[in-house]
Amino acid sequence: MKKITIDYKRFEKPAKISGIVLACLVCLYVLLDVLIMPLYTRQRQAIEVPDVTFLTFTASAKLLKKAGLKPVEGGVKFDELYPPGFVLFQNPEAGSKVKKGRRVYLIVGKGPRIFPMPKLVGMPIRDANFTLRDLKLVLGQVRYDIDDYYPEGVVSWQSIDPEQEVAVNESVDLVVSLGATPTQFIVPGLIGKSFEAARMEIRKAGLTLGKIEEQQTDKLIPNTVVSQSLEEGLEVLKGDTLNIVVSKLPGTKKEESSIW
């Protein structure tokens, strides 16, 4: 009887390949089951965060709840543009993809910052101006007048009383001292000065600005004093009237003048 010999080595290679293929299939299944499918499922379940800024907190919260998210007040911030109670910022930002039930933090506007008005009376006008600028207040109308108490260049009156509550961008008018009432009333020299400087000099001298006429010339800056009705250095009575003539460019209409 003939002896049959089986070559087992012929079957080793296919079996090894089959094992590798099986192992790869198992790994692929695990990868799909553990990583890819959950990720795909989460993406399918992700919610896009709506834009709720510049709405009232109540309206923003309602919109977020409707989307399946949880609104949370994350703080407050002073803001001059929007009234108190409006949402200024949100986190996560609008358009972000998040899971259902995610918290969305909202920063709510507190309105403009309110603070006590500082005392400006007694300050040099330059310092008062810096103080207003630092506090984001607006320097309004500035008038100059004789004051027997405050020296020249010092604020003698303010339109908003100290300690009164104010908000940023509020306007504050001031009166600045021209110094004490003079004992002698001497006509100042105004020729060559600007209209504003001349008006201040007239008031400082205790006189009254009277008629203002215009003279056409292209040799002087507009609104420069060309002549005055009373001679410089003349001693006069308190409140006497001083008329002046100011320059204007040829062809300029009277109503276009900037001195009124």
Mean pLDDT of 91-105: 94
246: in domain: yes
User: Between 198 and 82, where is the model more confident?
Assistant: 198
248: in domain: yes
pLDDT at 2: 54
Residues 175 and 196 in one domain: no
Q: Which of 181, 210, 233 is the last residue of a domain?
A: 181
Q: Which of 132, 150, 181 is the last residue of a domain?
A: 181
Mean pLDDT for the chain?
Answer: 87
Q: Annotate 92-117 with b (16+ C-beta within 10 A) or e (fewer).
A: eeeeeebeeebebebbbbbbbeeeeb
Give tens-digit pLDDT for 184-210: 899 999 999 999 999 999 999 999 999
Mean pLDDT of 2-10: 54
Residues 177 and 118 in one domain: yes
CB 147 within 8 A of CB 179: yes
Give tens-digit pLDDT for 125-175: 999 999 999 999 999 999 999 999 999 999 999 999 999 999 999 999 999
Q: What CATH number should be reported for the domain holding residue 230?
A: 3.30.10.20
The share of the chain scoring above pLDDT 70, in percent, equals 80
Domain that holds residue 138: 113-181
pLDDT at 143: 93
How many domains does the chain divide into?
3
Residue located via tokens 């969305």: 104
**29-34 long-range Cβ contacts below 8 angstroms, 24+ apart:** none
Give tens-digit pLDDT for 208-257: 999 999 999 999 999 999 999 999 999 999 999 999 999 999 877 764 44
Confidence of residue 98 (pLDDT cuts 50, 70, 90): very high
The residue among 77, 73, 160 whose CA lies nearest residue 112 is: 77
Residues 118 and 104 in one domain: no
